[in-house]
Amino acid sequence: MLINSADIGTSFTVDFTGDIDFEGTLGVQEVVGLTSEAIFTLVSVMDDGSPADSSLWVFDVSLENTSENPITGSRVTVLGMNLNPDLDPNDGSGVTGDFTIFVEGPENFPNAMPDVDICVKDGGGLNNCTGGGGAGSGAGVDLGSTENFQLTIDILGVTPLALTLDNFSVRYQSIDGAYTDPDGNVINLAGDSGTGGGTTTVPEPGTIALLSLGLLGMGLARKRRRRIH
């Protein structure tokens, strides 16, 4: 997803599914009811004042655990994503609010998910995206709850002011409930963990504006053709 400084004040939503690696013949399976949602709002874009010609991108983020029946319990403990351009090595990046740990360039995201450039969380180690502690730790977003934080990303390059975010990922822990496999067998879940990939469901205004201009141009072209005939 490509955003730019014209998108300040804009919100976009990322919906996440949930997968568990059952290993053996089942392998990784999408689990019905294991879901979450993140809403990003671009607050500001500014020069970070460093000699490296970098820019600070500030987002308000609302992360909700939307899991439902047959999932009876879960925690969303990590939110990760890829960035383009890359982070400024002088690093003005960080996170404040309900999530307080910002991790750059982790070597891996657990449970068969691909690498991500950054992740944020509110518990666990400071140099990985493996989650926010065990069951009962209180870390992460519980089922039916929402946590809010402000994410600051320090990106190399001031012009053009554009940033691509993709490969959105979350980690789930303390998953309770049930999963029905493709053969109809019910597997009880008790304290399991998993991950989920995200899809952007709300286009940013820049995209909407381009679509509107395109439709307007098509309308004007039709009018001109009618006048000619």
Which pLDDT belongs to residue 133? 62
Got the DSSP string for 123-151?
Answer: SS-SS--S-S-STTS--SEETT-EEEEEE
CA distance 44 to 57: 6
CA-to-CA dists, residue 85 to 8, 118, 150, 160, 164, angstroms: 18, 13, 20, 11, 7
pLDDT greater than 70 at residue 106: no
CA distance 193 to 189: 9
CA-to-CA dists, residue 76 to 50, 168, 171, angstroms: 35, 13, 6
> Closest Cα to residue 58, out of 163, 212, 141?
163
Task: Specify the pTM.
Answer: 0.83
Residue scoring higher pLDDT (113 or 92): 92
What would the pLDDT profile of 23-78 be if each residue is shown by its tens digit? 888 999 999 999 999 999 999 998 766 655 678 899 999 999 999 999 999 999 99
pLDDT greater than 90 at residue 147: yes
Which pLDDT belongs to residue 135? 56
Which of 78-82, 93-97, 153-157, 212-216 shows the lowest mean pLDDT across its residues?
212-216
Output phi, psi for 224, to 5 deg: -65, -40
User: Is 175 buried (19+), middle (13-18) or exposed (0-12) by CB count in 10 A?
Assistant: buried
| Listed ranges 51-60, 165-174, 201-210; the one with the highest mean pLDDT | 165-174
Mean pLDDT of the chain: 82
Which pLDDT belongs to residue 110? 60
**pLDDT band at 125, cuts 50/70/90?**
confident
Give the rounded distance of the alpha carbon of 173 from its chain centre: 17
CA distance 179 to 163: 38
β partners of residue 104: 118
Query: Looking at residues 84-113, what average pLDDT do you find?
Result: 78
Which of 36-45, 158-167, 180-189 shows the lowest mean pLDDT across its residues?
158-167
Which pLDDT belongs to residue 117? 87
Output phi, psi for 106, to 5 deg: -65, 150
Q: How many beta carbons lie within 10 A of that of residue 107, not counting itself?
A: 8
The amino acid present at 26, given as its one-letter code, is: L
**pLDDT band at 204, cuts 50/70/90?**
very low
